[in-house]
Structure 1
Amino acid sequence: MESYYKHHVFFCLNERGADAPRPSCARQGAEAMQDYAKKRIKKLGLSGKGEIRINKAGCLDRCEEGPVLVVYPEGVWYTYVDESDIDEIIDSHLVRGEPVERLMI
C-alpha cells in the first residue's frame, strides 16, 4: 500500500512545567521550529497530497534527546538546535532522500 504522503514529519510539541523532572520539547523551541518547517515546505511547493506533511505531535517519549521530530514512513528520528538543522533535514532527507546522520538519534 502506498503512503498518502511521501514524507510525514511529526514534531514533538509536548510541554511540561518548569519544575518537571523531565525536559520537554516545547520548552526547547520546538513550536517555532515546527512552524518554520511547515512554512519552508510550503514555500518550496512540497506540501499537499503525495508530498510532505509537517504535523504537531504530543509527547513522543524521547524527552532527554529533545527537541525531537520523526520522519515517516522511514521512522527516522532527529534532534535539532536551530533553523539550519531543520533546513538540512528538509534539503537532505525530505528532498534528496538522504538522512542526516549527524542529527539522527
Structure 2
Amino acid sequence: MKYKKHVFICANQKAAPKKSCGEAHGNELVDAFKAALAERGLLKEMRAQRTACLDACAFGPALVVYPEGTYYGNVQLSDVNEIIESDLLNNQPVERLKLNY
C-alpha cells in the first residue's frame, strides 16, 4: 500500500435546499488536512484528498479514513489536528466525531 493512511474528505456540492459537505466547508477541510500533513512532513506516508459524496450528507461535513474505514461527521476545521494526532498517527479514532454505520 502506498499510503499508511488515506483521508477522503467529502467536497460534494448539491443544489439547495439539500445539505452538502462542500457547502459546509468540505473544501476548506481538504486544504487544512493537506497543510497540516505537509507541516508534519507526512505527505509521503499519508494523503488527504477531496472526494464526491460519501452518502453521509446529513452528518456533514464528512470524511473517511482508510485503511480502517472510519467515518467522521460534523468535522470542523478545529478538529483537523486532533484527527491527525489521534487517528492518523496513533490509530485511536476520535470517538466524539465517529459515525457508526
Find the residue that maps to 1:86 and give its secondary structure: helix
The alignment's C-alpha RMSD in Å is 1.1
**Displacement over 6 Å in runs of 4+:** none
**Partners in 1 of 2:98 and 2:75 — Cα distance?**
12
Aligned length in residues: 99
* 2:36 corresponds to 1:40: yes
CA contact (8 A) 1:12 1:67 kept: yes
Unaligned runs of 5+ in 1: none
Structure-2 change in CA distance of 1:44 and 1:95 (3 Å): same
CA contact (8 A) 2:19 2:58 kept: yes
Unaligned runs of 5+ in 2: none
Shift of 1:33: 1.2
Amino acid at match of 2:47: R
Aligned to 2:8: 10
Per-residue CA deviations over 1:4-44 (Å, capped at 9, x if unaligned) read 2100100010001223xx31001111101110110110110
Shift of 1:68: 0.3
TM-score (norm 2): 0.92
Per-residue CA deviations over 1:44-99 (Å, capped at 9, x if unaligned) read 00001xx1010110111111111100000000001244222111101110111111
Q: Which structure has the larger Rg?
A: 1
**Partners in 2 of 1:36 and 1:42 — Cα distance?**
10
